[in-house]
Amino acid sequence: MTHDTILKHAALLLGSSGDAGMITDPNGTIQYVNPAFESITGYGQASALGRTPAILKSGQQSEAFYRNLWDTLRKGQEFRGILVNRRRDGSLYHEEKTIRPLFDADGSVRHFLSSGSDVSTRIEAMERLRFDATHDSLTGLPNRTLFMDRLEQALSRATRSGEVFAVALLDLNDFKSLNDALGHDAGDAALRASAQRLKRCLRQTDTAARLGGDEFALLLHDATDVARVMAALMEVCAEPWRFDGAQRPPLSLSVGVACFPDDGKSAFELMRRADEAMYRAKRSGGERSRWALSRTALQPEVASVPAPGHAQCGLALLEREVAVQRHLVKAGDTIYRVGERFRNVHVLQVGLCKLYGLSADGKEGLVTMLFKGDWLGLDGLADGRYRCSAIAADVCEVLTIRYDALLCAGARNPALLTQMLAAFARQDSRERDTVLNMHALPAEGRVAAFLCRWADELQQRGLRNDQIMLPTTRAEIGGHVGLRLESVSRAMTSLEREQLIRFNSRSRRDIEIPNLLALRDYVNRFSERN
């Protein structure tokens, strides 16, 4: 087949195609472009012939990418890939491209035939989904999943290089009062204002994230920058904010800071130390803004005025978009059982719920406890059946939402889907951190860490130290932390002797935590020895 015949057949093949078609010689000189090429790129026959595909080059592909492309073609193989190209008007688009070599009778490459479709819409949708899965829909900040990923990356870098970085946890003071007084819209406005102020205080290399509710986190890549950032934070939080056309009093916050490697060498340790420091700051600051370093005395007080604790955000959005059934569940009642068909997801509005899973021998064991604001039933997403049984541990108020209705609402308002993914990631991260760190401790430390972890969750949801009571049994604790019943009993006797726990006079199933700070310190001593 002659050169002209090959070119003619290839042109006929591409002529009616909706994809951008192009034929070049072996050196890449353009010999033909089809009408779709002109409509997609802006280059027609007159402006493209005699030139090379470099006219579309955007500079966003690496030299290694192009080396691989040409190496593939020189071997006589077909190349497939997605490129970011530049149109004649300067705008960028994503092209899914296929380039095939056309051979002569003697087997040598005579032409390259290229076809490509504009997949910008698809790529942008995927990028939007990726962004939504890793960012908070209300503030646009990274969410817990992305923050923990960046923290793990920082740990890897610092372990290799010896760098010192810092983690800070922040909590808005008395946020619930603001929500109750002005409504959720005002609470959302306060959270957005706080997010913008956090970003103003950071360098470009640092990260500000919203973990959920009124909780934020900072990742500061240079620990020597802590004092400057904290001073800036205290300054901006003294500024009033606006809602509904009116100026509102400043928001105060409590901040705890932990530094790598002095305060911890793992994400769990650093987050725990920062959390402890934050609660020290909150206890000493009252309604004023305070910050504290882990293992150090509190820093000098910086005055502020009352501002908004722990609130469930997003329920108003949920109830606006989808039918929600509210119902009360008595202690011991089943919300759903393992193996049942997955139809609904639930949000725990009030109370405490336990999840039980089946072991390999068919016995039920405690998997985790869920608290106010947690989602239930997400374990059924994977295979259409619940993997655990959800049992109320006390009187619970549960919101039930049909999953198919939630998906339809999510299509109308992607923030709902983001909210559910964030809840799943947050709960999964909490469980993973708890299990990994707990099982590194001896028996007594495991039991103490179990009690401390869930007591922390209750306190963070608004309970005072003297209100914290865990309805659980020795068998449940043993199943969760991997200990025999007698080992759990010995550990709990020791904790009771140390006055770190006590049993409710009416029921030894109810474990009271009289001094959560002392229990935390006790667990920390075990962690330091390990």
Whether residue 288 is predicted with pLDDT greater than 50 in this model: the reply is yes
Q: pLDDT for 72-105, tens place per residue?
A: 998 889 999 999 999 999 999 999 999 999 888 7
Domain positions in the chain are 3-118, 127-293, 314-423, 439-530
Q: Are 418 and 343 in contact (CB under 8 A)?
A: no
Of 252-261, 301-310, 324-333, 361-370, the poorest mean pLDDT is in 301-310
Contacts within 8 Å (CB) and 24+ apart, 221-226: 221/154, 221/163, 221/165, 222/163, 222/164, 222/165, 223/164, 223/165, 223/166, 223/259, 223/260, 224/164, 225/166, 226/166, 226/168, 226/257, 226/259, 226/293
261 preceded by a cis bond (ω within 30 of 0): yes
Give the pLDDT score at 305.
27
> Does CATH number 3.30.43.10 belong to domain 3-118?
no
pLDDT greater at residue 93 or residue 285? 93
Confidence of residue 53 (pLDDT cuts 50, 70, 90): very high
- The average pLDDT across 149-171 equals 92
What does the pLDDT read at residue 306? 28
The CA distance from 299 to 308, in Å, is: 22
Can you give the pLDDT at residue 517?
A: 81
Q: C-alpha angle 497/517/444, rounded to 5°?
A: 45
Greater confidence (370 vs 7) lies with 370
> Average per-residue pLDDT in the chain?
79
Class of the CATH domain delimited by 314-423: mainly beta
Among 264, 150, 275, 127, smallest CA distance to 202 is for 150
Highest mean pLDDT among 48-62, 214-228, 382-396: 48-62
CA distance 195 to 422: 17
Give the model's pLDDT for residue 123: 85
pLDDT at 55 (0 to 100):
93
Whole-number pLDDT of residue 296: 37
| Percent share of the chain, pLDDT over 90 | 20
Asked if the model's pLDDT at residue 467 lies above 70, the reply is no
The two tokens of residue 428 are 């999964």
* Least confident stretch, 123-127, 352-356, 370-374: 370-374
Q: Look up residue 113 and give its two tokens.
A: 């035939």
Q: Quickly tell me which residue has 């400057």 as its tokens.
A: 228
Predicted confidence (pLDDT) per residue in 296-311, tens digit: 333 333 323 222 222 3
- Collapsing DSSP to helix, strand or coil, 167 comes out as strand
Q: pLDDT at position 327, please?
A: 80
Give the pLDDT score at 498: 84
Region of poorest pLDDT, from 35-39, 137-141, 318-322, 506-510: 506-510
Q: What is the pLDDT of residue 30?
A: 92
Residue 83 has a pLDDT of 92
Confidence of residue 11 (pLDDT cuts 50, 70, 90): low
58 or 442, which is more confident: 58
Q: How confident is the model at residue 146 (pLDDT cuts 50, 70, 90)?
A: very high
Q: What is the mean pLDDT of residues 436-454?
A: 71
At 166, the pLDDT band (50, 70, 90 cuts) reads very high
Query: What is residue 135's DSSP assignment?
Result: B
Most confident of 140-154, 301-315, 416-430, 455-469: 140-154
pLDDT of residue 300: 32
Q: What is the CATH number of domain 127-293?
A: 3.30.70.270
Helix, strand, coil proportions of the chain in percent (round to 5)? 45, 25, 30
Provide the pLDDT for residue 8. 64
pLDDT of residue 210: 94
Cα-Cα-Cα-Cα dihedral sign, residues 171, 176, 179, 181: negative
Q: What is the pLDDT of residues 26-47, one digit of tens each?
A: 888 998 888 889 999 999 889 9
pTM: 0.45
What are the structure tokens assigned to 300, written together?
């000098």
For the chain, how big is the Rg over CA atoms in Å?
30
pLDDT in tens, 474-527: 777 776 666 788 888 888 888 888 888 887 655 556 788 877 788 888 877 766
Specify the pairing of strand 246-248 against strand 241-243: antiparallel
Report, at the CATH architecture level, how domain 439-530 is classified: Orthogonal Bundle (1.10)
For residue 7, name the pLDDT band (cuts at 50, 70, 90): low
Q: What pLDDT is attached to residue 287? A: 58
